[in-house]
Amino acid sequence: MRIRLLASIVSVVFLAIAVSACGGSSSSDNGISSKSPDAIVSSVNSAVAGLKSVHVTGSIMSTGAPITLDMDLVSGMGARGSMSENGVGFQIVALGQEVYISGSPAFWRRLGGNAAAQLFNGKWLKAPATGQFSSLASLTNLQALFNKLLASHGTLTKGATSTVNGQKVVALTDTTKGGTLYVATTGQPYPVEIIKSGSQGGHIDFSGFNKSVSLAAPANAIDISQLHS
């Protein structure tokens, strides 16, 4: 089965949000706005290392087509949510070492042709979170996602303080790769939003830090290991 659509979505998401992360909900100033860009990133790294869960939403462009995601990530467990490319989407549940995917007939047709659309319509596909699905699984791993983001930035400059999604933030702009990260200036220095301009731009928002999220494997999923190639 081809997984080019999944790989494309994952690579574009990482490209669009390759800067850093932060958000919070306390009214107490955390002192982030007075720190240097590198010190802010270090503080963010420490903060997200202790995250239990986060909600990630956003929309970015890839060769003129919008890619959207809406997911809850749980540290040490996995994730659940949905992703789409140009209106063709799929649901995903990642739990432990397994990935479960469910999509519309249009999604399965694009992924594996008419045979896949007939086989998986209305069903869930179960696959290992390794091998051909490893790139997708990495997007559902909370700590792996933030490690990737925090390690991928270029030269950073600190901007002004403002408010994003009701949260007081300070801006960090990547002058090498483009894009601006907004870091919470109250409570924990979590990521609040990343914005990238241009034809491949978009925005990624972070919220719901440490909220309770339940994950469960979809029932009666078709095990890909039981299918003939």
Give the whole-angstrom CA distance, residue 9 versus residue 156: 26
- Print burial letters for 48-65: b (CB count within 10 Å at least 16), e (below 16): beebebbbbbbbbbbeee
Q: What would the pLDDT profile of 17-69 be if each residue is shown by its tens digit?
A: 443 333 344 568 999 999 999 999 999 999 999 999 999 998 877 667 788 88
Residue 155 token pair:
């030269």
Show the CA angle centred on residue 143, arms to residues 137 and 147, nearest 5°. 100
The confidence score (pLDDT) of residue 228 equals 55
Tell me which residue of 134, 62, 57, 56 sits closest to 94, measured CA to CA: 134
Q: Check if the beta carbon of residue 161 is closer than 8 Å to that of residue 169.
A: yes
Global pTM value: 0.82
What domains can you pick out in the chain, each with its CATH number? 4-212 (2.50.20.20)
Q: What would the pLDDT profile of 63-115 be if each residue is shown by its tens digit?
A: 677 888 899 999 999 999 998 877 888 999 999 889 999 998 888 888 788 88
